[in-house]
Structure 1
Amino acid sequence: MKITIGIEKSKQHSNSDFHQYLATLTGSIAIICTGMHFGWPSPSLPLLLDENSHIPMTNSDGSWLAVMPCMGAVVGCFLAAYFVDKIGRKISMLMTSPLYFAAWIMVAYSTCVGILHGARFLAGIADGIAFTAFPMYLGEIAHSSIRGLLGSSIPVTTILGFLLINIIGSYFDITSTALLSSVVPILHFIMFFFMPESPYYLLMSKKEEDAKSSLKIFRGVDDVSVELSRLSSAVAENAETTGSIWDLFTVKSNRKAVFIIMGIRAVQQLSGTTVITFYAKTIFRDAGSNLSSSTAAIIYFSIQLVVATLASILVDKTGRRPLLIFSIIGSGFALATEGIYIYIQTYTDIDMTSFHSIPVIALLVYVVVFNLGMGTIPLLLLGELFPTNVKAFALCLADIYFGIIVTAVSKFFQIMKDDFGMHVPFLAFTAFCVIGLIFIITSVPETKGKTLEEIQMYLRGEESKLEKNVT
């Protein structure tokens, strides 16, 4: 397949990207819903675990409540793997809104742990659909010059969801928090309804005129013949070998992409990010910070949001690998500091009064350096590394894997914290950062500035052909 890369890039770089940003903004509201459901345990679990809670609950119940969306996501991503190629990326995204809305209503009026578990599981189904369909949608509508920025909107808006639910949950009870949160999925449905479908999907569905119209909107120009020809060729080439889930393991380039994604997602979660989010208020309380747990958690997520936004801007300028390497090294140092402080404070007679700010500072340093790379780039890579004919299967597999790993790490955190002390999981996360650094240096490629087709050429080992096309 001949790719006219140089002509296309120079021609489209000056075009209007307004509708790409608009589709990203409106679609990301669903990801805010995801963040709000994922972050809900931070303000709500302490209330539910309190002895005066209207729903009696044990620590074990609470840990299962925290990870229940990950289990629901397994179901959701299977549904999404079917729907994204049958009814489209856009309709699949719109399906998440009623699911998120129903989950919040169930939370608002729940009277037992079982209903809460059901609500969280339902939200997880929506998460699985959203995190399969939206990375695919963004990767297919975005120009290569801003794909990193648009793709990074997913972790940024997830964090925004964490922040919103912590703010709301700090000032309202569980019922009011859920009812207020139920407005967000309604907003997503209304706004995203008017966005165009992915031109890739329209070409796969033999709707060339619709694909042309979609591409004109996203590129802001009337002449899209060059890019439409390239996309048509890419879709036709993929269609010649109908993809299946087994192609992820039997095709060398797909197998390489799976290895990269599984590795980087494992490193991301084994460095503790999701469980720290789940237990943010509890961690600040147990670490002995002078700040109230609610205030500390809001500060934590506010800084996380600012840094993730900065990372989304930097990722297309500095590249993926430099940010990942800096991020994993800094995260390791911050986690080690947190673990050592908690151990000294809890198990020695050393007076730590003069150093009471260390746990908050260490966690804030962690959130800064982690979100400069590790918090944003793994999801971006997920939308970049797979060809169209297996992308739905790849994202489905990645979501299942993510759910399993988050559930396992969350249970590990809860068991280690309860049985051996809070310092143990932090020191374990530090060790995983060291392993992660080695993996990033040896295995993660640089995708900055490459089209999706160029990335596939790299994964197939066609570097010489790629260099020829670029020049």
Structure 2
Amino acid sequence: MRLFSALLNRKQNGSLYYQYLATFTGSIAIICTEMHFGWPSPSLPQLLQEDSHIPMTSADGSWIAVMPCLGAAFGSITGALTVDRIGRKTCMLLVSPLHFITWLMVAFSPSVSILNVARFIVGIADGIAFTAFPMYIGEISDSKIRGFLGSSISVTTMLGFLLINVIGSYFSIRDTALISSALPVLHFITFISMPESPYFLLMKQKPEQAEMSLKKLKGMEDVKEEVLRLNLVVKEETENSGKFLDLFTVRSNRKAGFIIMGVRGIQQLSGITAITFYSQIIFDQAEIGISPSTATSIYFAVQLIVTIFSSILVDKIGRRPLLIVSVIGSGTFLALEGLYFYFQTQTNIDVSKLSFLPLTSLLLYVIIFNLGMGTVPVLMLSELFPTNVKAFALCIADIYFGIIVTLVSKFFQMMNDDFGMYVPFFAFTVCCAVGLIFIVTCVPETKDKSLEEIQQYLKGEDVKKNEKTNL
């Protein structure tokens, strides 16, 4: 009798079980992507050794590291063109075969060229996943858990980096790739049974399938009112569908684009992705007294913990305070890192007593970075653009991200090879100082504001409203 009552109560009040499950199984694709992105950290030191099975130069290694960033541009365009045609779920399922094939290419690659092709395909998968999955989460999740589910992207990003560094530190390149190839298979098997976005199904005029999807996601039998509400929203947005040029011709969209490009640029110009690619090489040159692989695993474990903590703080403290504290702290610890390498390589000063500084500084850097700079720019991307141009905005943002990461990573490699490790760290410090000025003067606070209020701010309507109130 109690079991029957519990089941009846579940059908009436609903259950969010499938929303959590769909997010969890979908997030495996993000873990796969970030494992590929983090792969250079444990693998490049092996590939750059004299007895490497694939002989390569430092320049070859840098191209292998950044190749996914170039592929991501094509993937983002592909995702933007297909996500409203074949669906969010289907796009996510297409990512798994790409990840599986590329791990096999990495495992059995006989040359630098094959590795570059594999890494480029990885970038395509990344662009598709980071276009489709944020939309999928936003459309399947209840408002009271949307923030928590949305933060899973940042958390699983760090988890992917940590996993590949742990696996890659204890296994050969081939074994690491073969072990990693199991994850895309797991993603496909578990995610294929998840419901498609009801929003997309209504866009395709499939109300019966949308109702079935909502029943699963809500854990309720009666979802007719929700179907009617979503149907009205879909019709309204279809009638007011945005165009690509609206990103540039509409003043509020231009302002949003300027803010996003600024914060995303600061995020990458602080060197986070370049440091991620070369973390084991950095720790090896620093001569810190513990193995580079152990130091790197600690580095990514700390990032994972702080990212989880940051996802809780962002709605309590606000975006601007976290960004300001984060960019100041990041610049400070990057400067300390640069000073250590400068004194180590350019002076006769004995820095052996300061061997703790490189690891300590980088750990403090990733802690303070991930409190704000690591999470807020991605969050603001989903907040600042209206729904009718969000797919286009995500596409442009991913392409911009790929370009700037490529440039920063190549800069890191060339400056380190030609001048020394201290040069890129000092350059990243200067970028943080410039970023502080940009954040203070240009970035708005979006905490506790609805999406409509944010659009009013971008259009300048809140100023007009205040003026009327004062009359």
Once the two structures are TM-superposed, the CA of residue 466 in structure 1 deviates from its matched residue by 10
Matches of 1:37 and 1:172, distance apart in 2: 15
For residues 41-440 of structure 1, what are the structure 2 equivalents within 5 Å?
Answer: 41-221=40-220, 231-440=230-439
Distance 1:81 1:141, change over 3 A: same
Once the two structures are TM-superposed, the CA of residue 218 in structure 1 deviates from its matched residue by 3.4
Once the two structures are TM-superposed, the CA of residue 30 in structure 1 deviates from its matched residue by 0.6
Cα RMSD of the aligned pairs, angstroms, is 2.2
1:40 corresponding residue in structure 2:
39
- The code of the aligned residue for 1:391 comes to K
Higher mean displacement: 21-30 or 97-106? 21-30
**Cα deviation code 1:388-444 (max 9, x no counterpart):** 322221111111111100000011111111111111111111111122222222333
Matches of 1:451 and 1:344, distance apart in 2: 50
Once the two structures are TM-superposed, the CA of residue 139 in structure 1 deviates from its matched residue by 2.5
Max radius of gyration: which structure?
2
Higher mean displacement: 429-438 or 271-280? 429-438
Matches of 1:132 and 1:419, distance apart in 2: 37
- The code of the aligned residue for 1:329 comes to I
Structure 2: where are the runs of 5+ without partners?
1-12, 467-471
Higher mean displacement: 99-108 or 425-434? 425-434
Higher mean displacement: 54-63 or 235-244? 235-244
Matches of 1:446 and 1:194, distance apart in 2: 39
Matches of 1:20 and 1:373, distance apart in 2: 27
Higher mean displacement: 297-306 or 453-462? 453-462
Distance 1:84 1:453, change over 3 A: farther
Matches of 2:80 and 2:367, distance apart in 1: 34
Matches of 2:144 and 2:450, distance apart in 1: 9
- The code of the aligned residue for 2:384 comes to L
1:23 corresponding residue in structure 2:
22
Matches of 2:401 and 2:100, distance apart in 1: 23
Once the two structures are TM-superposed, the CA of residue 212 in structure 1 deviates from its matched residue by 4.2
Q: Answer yes or no: is the 8 Å Cα contact 1:77–1:400 preserved in 2.
A: yes
- The code of the aligned residue for 1:274 comes to T
Matches of 1:426 and 1:341, distance apart in 2: 10
Distance 1:110 1:215, change over 3 A: same
Higher mean displacement: 304-313 or 272-281? 304-313
Matches of 1:59 and 1:448, distance apart in 2: 44
Distance 1:302 1:417, change over 3 A: same
TM-score normalised by the chain length of structure 1: 0.91
Higher mean displacement: 283-292 or 198-207? 198-207
Matches of 2:401 and 2:333, distance apart in 1: 24
Matches of 2:228 and 2:444, distance apart in 1: 27
Once the two structures are TM-superposed, the CA of residue 448 in structure 1 deviates from its matched residue by 3.5
Partner SS for 1:286 = helix
Distance 1:446 1:139, change over 3 A: farther
Matches of 2:20 and 2:437, distance apart in 1: 35
Distance 1:134 1:163, change over 3 A: same
Once the two structures are TM-superposed, the CA of residue 98 in structure 1 deviates from its matched residue by 0.2
Matches of 1:337 and 1:166, distance apart in 2: 25
Higher mean displacement: 266-275 or 135-144? 135-144
Higher mean displacement: 54-63 or 342-351? 342-351
Partner SS for 1:372 = helix
- The code of the aligned residue for 1:188 comes to H
Once the two structures are TM-superposed, the CA of residue 78 in structure 1 deviates from its matched residue by 1.1
- The code of the aligned residue for 2:174 comes to T
1:8 corresponding residue in structure 2:
none
Matches of 1:233 and 1:450, distance apart in 2: 23
**Cα deviation code 1:203-249 (max 9, x no counterpart):** 32233444344344434455656765554444333322332211111
- The code of the aligned residue for 2:126 comes to D
- The code of the aligned residue for 2:48 comes to L
- The code of the aligned residue for 1:198 comes to S
Partner SS for 2:314 = helix
Distance 1:408 1:459, change over 3 A: same
Once the two structures are TM-superposed, the CA of residue 44 in structure 1 deviates from its matched residue by 0.4
Structure 1: where are the runs of 5+ without partners?
1-13
- The code of the aligned residue for 2:358 comes to P
Q: Answer yes or no: is the 8 Å Cα contact 1:248–1:255 preserved in 2.
A: yes
Once the two structures are TM-superposed, the CA of residue 311 in structure 1 deviates from its matched residue by 1.0
Matches of 1:450 and 1:232, distance apart in 2: 25
Distance 1:199 1:456, change over 3 A: farther
Matches of 1:376 and 1:344, distance apart in 2: 33
Matches of 2:129 and 2:247, distance apart in 1: 21
Partner SS for 1:85 = coil
Distance 1:356 1:294, change over 3 A: same
Partner SS for 2:75 = helix
Matches of 1:162 and 1:15, distance apart in 2: 36
Distance 1:190 1:465, change over 3 A: farther
Matches of 1:157 and 1:407, distance apart in 2: 22
